[in-house]
């Protein structure tokens, strides 16, 4: 909910078209205060937590009415509209047919607390209908909650936009620049929610979404509250914004926020397990195998699974057991084979599917999005190595991965091959040098020395984007940029390399931080490569082009960063290729290596 409250605070000084419709303004000032948007967001969150996830619609409505009246009376001067102000003090409050944007501004918690988009929409509808029972008021709440749910579960902006258009018929044909000149203060859902969505779709960070929303003018606190709550689910909220927000909030609101964040983590614990993060390497390999079911691609797929096993990778495993019983358990720490006791003994039956030949397969998912393409179920999260070893002793044919879309039948013979491969001698780490075009190297991964947008630029960055094709740009858009020293990975598309790792080097200033950032580029790229089972990677001379890092300073950092990583990962078997753009770079690398050899002797 921080996104909603921060949006409310940042937008509040500019309400009633008091700003100059610019993105250039101070985010937090003494006039940045919470308003009715924040108070009602807190009220709805408290109501839903007290009602519980399995409450009926009528129960939810009763809790929401009680909470909104309680909090509204506690903060009577927060800026409520006329009809709603009277609703807050009525003994038997009834909905009054409103299509105002209040239903959308208070709904953010709904998008975080439920396991399916259908349940999310049902509860959003209930929170709206206690006051805003006009179809437009209901639509505003449902659309915003749906977007939050989709954003937090991994949907792209394009997928969110397509869903909202298909289900709620909002018009997103105008850009922020189109909206801004004629937009004025209006408080209806149909003239606030689409504008908030547009700011979200156009912004490339949480802060940029907030600034774009404020720049539109109008009912600024509410519009920015709505845009901010969606942006939080998509981008997260920077820590310094959270600190600014919290110091402006009273203790009772902070207490609800803390409880909500704890419950939000509980809801998403299995789905956002960090051990699922690297599973995209399996999904990419399955996709490649679908396009070309060759032996080489099968080997790559099995190697991807083996790599995730060796890096503590998890799978989502559907189980059949009473939902109420599952709620009592610490699902994060249950694994296949455990005897589980709650108030009574429970016996998990793992979900199975039968193929046409009559064989039974256990079901497993690599991520939440794959699971949600089919039937919903209670789930546990389990280490791949424990699970696959256990499968060998079960009366099943094997495991079907991601059965609802592009699936893969991992039979026991293939599982045994993966497990046997772990007993083979480990390959050795090694450094190589190449002079020429990095885009033509025949290795698993090349590194792109990108700018912060990672959307392409000049030099090698532009050459990589051109060689990989337009698909690379589309994937890069979904990654929302990259910070200096960090790394992000995409497919290689039309390159010989299967993957591209994008890292952002420092602009040379001569300060110590430059060395740290440059070393992090190499280290984080290698860590990301390892997480994806990559064993050959090519680096350009990062930051030595237009970023101005002198070669004589950059080369030692590049060599030491890699050799230090080798020492920490002695058994991994990584081939690192330093790709040199010209003869001078190649010669300087060679000279430094010779210097090291002489020093070692």
Residue 378, pLDDT score? 62
Note whether 384 and 449 are same-domain residues. Answer: no
Residue 383, pLDDT score? 83
Asked if 236 contacts 229 with a C-beta cutoff of 8 angstroms, the reply is no
Residue 476, pLDDT score? 92
* CA–CA separation, 77 and 85 (whole Å): 10
Note whether 28 and 165 are same-domain residues. Answer: yes
Residue numbers in the chain where pLDDT is lower than 50: 265-267, 269-271, 321-347, 601
Angle, CA 308 vertex, CA 303 and CA 313 arms, to 5°? 160
For residue 590, give every residue at least 6 positions away whose Cβ sits within 8 Å of its Cβ, in sequence order, or none: 433
Residue 17, pLDDT score? 63
Kindly report, residue by residue over 451-494, the tens digit of the pLDDT: 999 998 888 899 999 999 999 998 998 888 899 999 999 999 99
Asked if 276 contacts 316 with a C-beta cutoff of 8 angstroms, the reply is yes
Residue 121, pLDDT score? 97
For residue 131, give every residue at least 6 positions away whose Cβ sits within 8 Å of its Cβ, in sequence order, or none: 84, 87, 93, 95, 96, 98, 102, 103, 137
Note whether 128 and 51 are same-domain residues. Answer: yes
3-class SS at 585? helix
Residue 269, pLDDT score? 43
Note whether 32 and 130 are same-domain residues. Answer: yes
Note whether 571 and 516 are same-domain residues. Answer: yes
Residue of 80, 82, 102, 95 lying closest to 189 (CA atoms): 102
The CATH number of whichever domain residue 159 belongs to comes to 1.10.4080.10
Q: How many domains does the chain have?
A: 3
**Domain end call among 245, 267, 289:** 267
Residue 273, pLDDT score? 53
- Residue 256, sorted as left (phi over 0), alpha (psi -120 to 50) or beta, turns out to be alpha
For residue 361, give every residue at least 6 positions away whose Cβ sits within 8 Å of its Cβ, in sequence order, or none: 352, 353, 354, 355, 396, 397, 398, 399, 400, 409
Strands across the sheet containing 398-401: 352-354, 360-364, 398-401, 408-411
Helix segments in 269-327, DSSP class H? 280-291, 295-310, 323-326
**Domain end call among 198, 232, 267:** 267
Note whether 313 and 207 are same-domain residues. Answer: no
Asked if 308 contacts 341 with a C-beta cutoff of 8 angstroms, the reply is no
Kindly report, residue by residue over 3-19, the tens digit of the pLDDT: 999 999 999 998 766 66
Count the neighbouring beta carbons within 10 Å of the beta carbon of residue 451: 19
The CATH number of whichever domain residue 589 belongs to comes to 3.40.220.10
* CA–CA separation, 284 and 288 (whole Å): 6
* CA–CA separation, 587 and 596 (whole Å): 14
Note whether 120 and 22 are same-domain residues. Answer: yes
* Contacts by residues 182-185 (CB-CB < 8 Å, ≥ 24 positions apart): 183/216, 183/217, 183/218, 184/17, 184/217, 184/218, 185/15, 185/16, 185/17, 185/217, 185/218, 185/219
| pTM assigned to the model | 0.53
Strands across the sheet containing 314-320: 349-350, 314-320, 378-383
Cross-strand bridge partners of residue 434: 579
* CA–CA separation, 202 and 204 (whole Å): 7
Residue of 44, 18, 35, 76 lying closest to 248 (CA atoms): 35
3-class DSSP string for 128-186: HHCCCCCHHHHHHHHHHHHHHHHHHCCCCHHHHHHHHHHHHCCCCCCCHHHHHHHCCCC
User: Residue-wise over 327-348: b if at least 16 C-beta within 10 A, else e?
Assistant: eebebeebebeeebeeeeebeb
The values of phi and psi at residue 191, to 5°, are -120, 15
Note whether 257 and 347 are same-domain residues. Answer: no
Pairing of strands 445-450, 499-504: parallel
**Domain end call among 209, 238, 267:** 267
Residue 278, pLDDT score? 80
Look up the domain containing 409 and give its range: 275-421
Angle, CA 447 vertex, CA 445 and CA 449 arms, to 5°? 165
Note whether 280 and 263 are same-domain residues. Answer: no
* CA–CA separation, 454 and 451 (whole Å): 5
Asked if 14 contacts 220 with a C-beta cutoff of 8 angstroms, the reply is yes
Residue of 248, 289, 238, 325 lying closest to 38 (CA atoms): 248
| Residue 101 CB-density burial (10 A; 0-12 exposed, 13-18 middle, 19+ buried) | buried
Residue 325, pLDDT score? 42
Note whether 44 and 189 are same-domain residues. Answer: yes
Pairing of strands 378-383, 360-364: unpaired
* CA–CA separation, 455 and 476 (whole Å): 6
Note whether 394 and 481 are same-domain residues. Answer: no
* CA–CA separation, 220 and 227 (whole Å): 10
Note whether 394 and 455 are same-domain residues. Answer: no
The values of phi and psi at residue 234, to 5°, are -90, -45
* CA–CA separation, 407 and 427 (whole Å): 31
Asked if 374 contacts 364 with a C-beta cutoff of 8 angstroms, the reply is no
């Amino acid at each position: 909910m921080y996104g909603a409250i921060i949006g409310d605070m940042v937008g509040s000084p500019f309400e009633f078209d008091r700003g100059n419709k610019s993105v250039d303004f101070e985010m937090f000032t003494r006039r940045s205060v919470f308003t009715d948007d924040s108070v009602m967001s807190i009220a709805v969150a408290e109501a839903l937590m007290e009602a519980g996830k399995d409450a009926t619609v009528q129960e939810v409505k009763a809790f929401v009415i009680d909470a909104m009246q309680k909090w509204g009376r506690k903060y009577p001067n927060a800026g409520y509209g006329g009809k709603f102000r009277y609703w807050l003090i009525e003994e038997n409050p009834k909905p009054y047919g409103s299509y105002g944007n209040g239903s959308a501004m208070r709904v953010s918690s709904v998008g975080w607390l439920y396991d399916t988009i259908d349940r999310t929409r049902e509860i959003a509808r209930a929170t709206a209908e206690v006051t805003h029972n006009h179809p437009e008021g209901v639509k505003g709440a449902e659309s915003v909650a749906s977007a939050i749910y989709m954003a937090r579960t991994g949907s792209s902006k394009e997928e969110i936009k397509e869903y909202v258009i298909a289900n709620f018929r909002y018009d997103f044909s105008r850009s922020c620049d189109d909206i801004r000149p004629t937009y004025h203060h209006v408080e209806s859902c149909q003239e606030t929610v689409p504008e908030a969505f547009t700011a979200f779709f156009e912004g490339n960070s949480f802060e940029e979404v907030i600034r774009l929303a404020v720049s539109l003018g109008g009912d600024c606190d509410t519009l920015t509250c709505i845009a901010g709550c969606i942006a939080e689910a998509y981008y997260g909220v920077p820590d310094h914004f959270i600190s600014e927000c919290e110091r402006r909030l009273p203790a009772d609101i902070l207490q609800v926020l803390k409880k909500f964040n704890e419950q939000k983590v509980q809801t998403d614990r299995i789905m956002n397990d960090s051990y699922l993060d690297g599973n995209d390497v399996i999904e990419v390999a399955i996709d490649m195998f679908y396009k070309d079911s060759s032996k080489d691609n099968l080997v790559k797929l099995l190697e991807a699974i083996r790599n995730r096993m060796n890096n503590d990778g998890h799978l989502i495993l559907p189980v059949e057991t009473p939902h109420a019983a599952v709620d009592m358990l610490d699902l994060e720490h249950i694994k296949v084979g455990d005897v589980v006791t709650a108030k009574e003994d429970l016996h998990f039956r793992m979900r199975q599917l039968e193929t046409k030949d009559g064989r039974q397969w256990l079901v497993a998912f690599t991520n939440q999005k794959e699971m949600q393409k089919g039937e919903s179920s209670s789930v546990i999260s389990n280490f791949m190595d424990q699970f696959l070893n256990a499968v060998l002793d079960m009366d099943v044919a094997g495991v079907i991965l991601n059965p609802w879309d592009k699936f893969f039948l991992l039979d026991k013979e293939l599982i045994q091959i993966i497990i046997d491969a772990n007993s083979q001698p480990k390959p050795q780490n090694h450094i190589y040098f190449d002079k020429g075009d990095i885009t033509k190297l025949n290795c698993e991964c090349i590194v792109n020395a990108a700018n912060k947008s990672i959307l392409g630029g000049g030099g090698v960055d532009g050459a990589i984007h051109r060689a990989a094709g337009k698909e690379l740009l589309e994937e890069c858009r979904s990654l929302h940029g990259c910070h200096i020293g960090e790394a992000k990975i995409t497919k290689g598309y039309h390159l010989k390399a299967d993957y591209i790792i994008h890292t952002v080097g420092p602009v040379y200033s001569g300060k110590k931080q430059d060395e740290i950032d440059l070393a992090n580029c190499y280290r984080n790229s290698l860590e990301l490569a390892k997480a994806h089972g990559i064993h050959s990677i090519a680096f350009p001379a990062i930051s030595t082009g237009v970023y101005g890092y002198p070669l004589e300073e950059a080369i030692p950092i590049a060599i030491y960063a890699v050799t230090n990583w080798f020492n920490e990962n002695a058994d991994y078997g990584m081939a690192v290729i330093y790709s040199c753009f010209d003869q001078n770079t190649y010669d300087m690398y060679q000279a430094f290596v010779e210097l090291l050899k002489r020093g070692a002797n």
